[in-house]
Amino acid sequence: MPVLLVIFSLLVPRLVLLYLWFLTGWFRGMFDTLLWPVLGFVFLPTTLLWYSAVQHWFGGQWTLWPVVGLVIALLIDVAPRHRGTRTEPPARRRASRRPAHA
């Protein structure tokens, strides 16, 4: 079950965050203010999940492996997403910029 949750959290981290927030006590006592979880949910959901995992599973100790995981989570969150949009070939783009002759 934990492995499935990890795989699911990499695919849809915001859904996992909502599940953990509303249906479990995973985040209880972790943050002093609601600002940080909301900002993490909006901008860095995978990083927020990893931060909470380090707080629970590693006792909040930021040793080598938690830091490596943090870097990977940040890379996942800030990596550009390609939605399968197709771009025009360069030759066609150049041809469309030429002015039409009368």
In a domain, 66, yes or no: yes
pTM for the model stands at 0.74
Please classify residue 30 by burial: count the beta carbons closer than 10 Å to its beta carbon, then call 0-12 exposed, 13-18 middle and 19+ buried: middle
* Residue 71, domain extent: 2-79
The identity of residue 49, as a single letter, is L
Per-residue pLDDT of the chain (102 residues; tens, 9 = 90+): 678 877 888 889 999 999 999 999 999 989 999 999 999 999 999 999 999 999 999 999 999 999 999 999 999 999 987 766 566 566 665 555 666 665
In a domain, 99, yes or no: no
Domain count within the chain: 1
In a domain, 102, yes or no: no
In a domain, 69, yes or no: yes
In a domain, 43, yes or no: yes
Q: How far is Cα 52 from Cα 57, in angstroms, rounded to an integer?
A: 9
